Amino acid sequence: MGKITVDVKREVLRANDMLAEALRREWASRSMLVVNLLSSPGSGKTALLERTLEILKGRMRVAVLEGDIETDRDAERIRAKGVEAVQITTGGTCHLEANMVAKAWERISDRDWDILFIENVGNLICPAGFDLGEHLRVVLLSVPEGDDKPAKYPKAFRTARWMVLTKMDLLPFFDFSPERAVSEAKRLRPDIRVFRTSAKTGEGVEEWANALVEEYRKMYG
Type of residue numbered 102: A
Q: Is residue 185 part of a domain?
A: yes
Side-by-side strand order, sheet with 136-142: 84-89, 62-68, 115-119, 33-38, 136-142, 162-166, 193-196
Range 7-16, long-range pairs (CB < 8 A, 24+ positions): 13/129, 13/130, 16/97, 16/98, 16/99, 16/130, 16/131
Q: Is residue 160 part of a domain?
A: yes
Q: Is residue 2 part of a domain?
A: no
Any residues with CB less than 8 A from the CB of 111 and at least 6 apart, and which? 61, 63, 84
Predicted pLDDT at 71: 80
**Residue 41 belongs to domain with CATH number:** 3.40.50.300
Closest Cα to residue 215, out of 120, 145, 84, 117? Answer: 117
Where does the chain have alpha helices with state H? 8-29, 45-56, 73-79, 98-106, 149-152, 154-158, 178-188, 205-220
The residue range of the domain holding 63 is 9-220
pLDDT tens for the chain, residues 1 to 221: 455 544 656 788 899 999 999 999 999 999 999 999 999 999 999 999 999 999 999 999 999 999 998 888 999 999 999 999 999 998 878 899 999 999 999 999 999 999 999 999 999 999 999 999 999 999 999 999 999 999 999 999 999 999 999 999 999 999 999 999 999 999 999 999 999 999 999 999 999 999 999 999 999 98
Q: Is residue 4 part of a domain?
A: no
Q: Is residue 59 part of a domain?
A: yes
Q: Is residue 137 part of a domain?
A: yes
Q: Is residue 52 part of a domain?
A: yes
pTM of the model: 0.94
Predicted pLDDT at 93: 85
Domain total for the chain?
1
Q: Is residue 39 part of a domain?
A: yes
